Structure 1
Amino acid sequence: MTSSVGTPYALFPHRVLAIEAVAPQVYVLDLEKRFHFLPGQVVAVALPDDAHKPRLYSVAGSPRETRLRILFDVKADGWLTPRLARLKPGDHVQVSEPFGKFIGDDAPAWWIATGTGVAPFVSMTEAGLAHNKTLIHGARTLNKFYFASLFEQHLGDRYHRFCTTAQAPHVAHGRLTHWLESHPHLPLEIKYYLCGHADMVVEVRRILVEQKGIPYHNVLAEIYF
């Protein structure tokens, strides 16, 4: 989820098709699809008759599907996410048309994410853009590597997972930032897509630009709050 917004975006009712818990307090919400989107774009989401500002969420699904999928985690002190988690099929939410410039393409790139920040890369993968990509995904616990089977299928050994509290087959123990710092040769000519919490995005951008010599304009970021 990116930051909240005011109301410059028109919101339209979307029917809930399904909701599934994929980890404790983490859900995938499937909505009817009313607008076309590009992989990596976001939508503003609010509840009907809600005076609170809409929140932005990356679309986590294929542009070819007939549904609009959102991955979100419940913020205990939040207004919107606890209510989203209680939705049932047939309910309605207010959703904007998709927008944003964090858009994937067919060029080689590295995707770097923490937690639910992997959502736009789900969309890019399901859009057929993963064949020349590397995904670096960090999480605190092993159950927070969302859509792991999708990435294993499409990325193979170009899918790298880092967990700060545990180790498992195909999952390294530690922080993805430490791995990036120790990596001897990062490609200089490709784009790096960063998606996750602000602290991670700032730190990874610093590593890429200041330590590894990646051109600043080759680092694209989407910050989650």
Structure 2
Amino acid sequence: MAKAEEYIKKDRELLEETVLSNEEISPGVFLLSVKRKWDFQPGQVVKLGVDRVQPPRIYSICSGNHEQELRVLFNIKEDGYLTPKLAALVPGDKVLLTEPYGSFIGSQKPAWWIATGTGIAPFYAMFQSGLFEDKKLIHGASYLNQFYFEDELDWSLGKNYQRCCSREQSCDVFPGRVTDYLKSLDELPKDVQYFLCGKAIMVVEVRDLLINKGVPYDNIIAEIYF
């Protein structure tokens, strides 16, 4: 599991950057970009804010580490303070963010990437950084329009890209949750890493399921979205 203290062990300076674009890629889901000024490892995060009144929130970087822009994927939480303000930003507006950090880092090793919702972000960063060889991506969503970046992921990963949809059906999508899909498999490889990213309940359920199927605990690396 990713260590929580990695994200709170010290304050990180919020720096003002200019929004380059803020595209709504699905209803209520936005991809915000600024100029990339730092090197980072795919899978790392930044803290993001719109002012110095409310604390910033942590978001995974959703772009390759060689691209000129640094992007963040977020969905609007109607009762939240930050995301409605982030969604209203237009090119030229200012946003606050920290330098990248974190230990949820992709590599060239064989791995399964397991995500729900906007938890796809760090895996898309890994994909865009060229780390998709020997990887299987499992993405769970409630609705079919929530499989972000699916065309390019499907094109590059083919049979190693598995979508799981719990509330709608399509001929090439598993009908159910990520956990249902994993339960349907007779056997899981024991010698690969399993990266999990999504809400806490999903991460805990998938972690326990993997362990029950014989996956070593040390092979499971998790990032929790709040």
Which bracket does the TM-score occupy, shorter chain normalised?
Answer: over 0.9
Q: 1:125 to 1:140 in 2, by over 3 A?
A: same
Report the Cα distance in structure 2 between the residues aligned to 1:83 and 1:109, rounded to whole angstroms: 36
The alignment of Structure 1 onto Structure 2 pairs a total of residues equal to 221
Report the Cα distance in structure 1 between the residues aligned to 2:122 and 2:155, rounded to whole angstroms: 17
The answer on whether the counterparts of 1:63 and 1:127 sit within 8 Å (CA) in structure 2 is: yes
Report the Cα distance in structure 1 between the residues aligned to 2:131 and 2:35, rounded to whole angstroms: 24
> Could you say which residue in structure 1 is the equivalent of 2:141?
139
Encode CA deviations 1:179-218: one digit per residue, 9 max, x unaligned: 1112111000110000001110000000001x21111111
Equivalent positions of 1:136-215 (< 5 A) are 136-209=138-211, 211-215=212-216
Q: 1:147 to 1:87 in 2, by over 3 A?
A: same
Aligned with 2:25 (options 22, 32, 36)? 22
The answer on whether the counterparts of 1:125 and 1:154 sit within 8 Å (CA) in structure 2 is: no
Report the Cα distance in structure 2 between the residues aligned to 1:94 and 1:6, rounded to whole angstroms: 20
Report the Cα distance in structure 1 between the residues aligned to 2:148 and 2:170, rounded to whole angstroms: 15
The answer on whether the counterparts of 2:174 and 2:181 sit within 8 Å (CA) in structure 1 is: no
Equivalent positions of 1:1-225 (< 5 A) are 8-48=11-51, 50-209=52-211, 211-225=212-226
Q: TM-score, normalised by structure 1?
A: 0.95
Q: TM-score, normalised by structure 2?
A: 0.95
Report the Cα distance in structure 2 between the residues aligned to 1:181 and 1:12, rounded to whole angstroms: 44
The answer on whether the counterparts of 1:5 and 1:55 sit within 8 Å (CA) in structure 2 is: no
Identity %, equivalent residues = 47
Report the Cα distance in structure 1 between the residues aligned to 2:68 and 2:14, rounded to whole angstroms: 19
Q: Gaps (5+ residues) in structure 2?
A: none
What SS does structure 1 have at the residue aligned with 2:209? helix
Report the Cα distance in structure 1 between the residues aligned to 2:104 and 2:217, rounded to whole angstroms: 15
Superposition CA RMSD, Å: 1.4
Report the Cα distance in structure 2 between the residues aligned to 1:208 and 1:7, rounded to whole angstroms: 33
The one-letter code matched in structure 2 to 1:59 is I
Q: Gaps (5+ residues) in structure 1?
A: none
The one-letter code matched in structure 2 to 1:103 is I
Report the Cα distance in structure 2 between the residues aligned to 1:5 and 1:56, rounded to whole angstroms: 10
Report the Cα distance in structure 1 between the residues aligned to 2:109 and 2:172, rounded to whole angstroms: 26
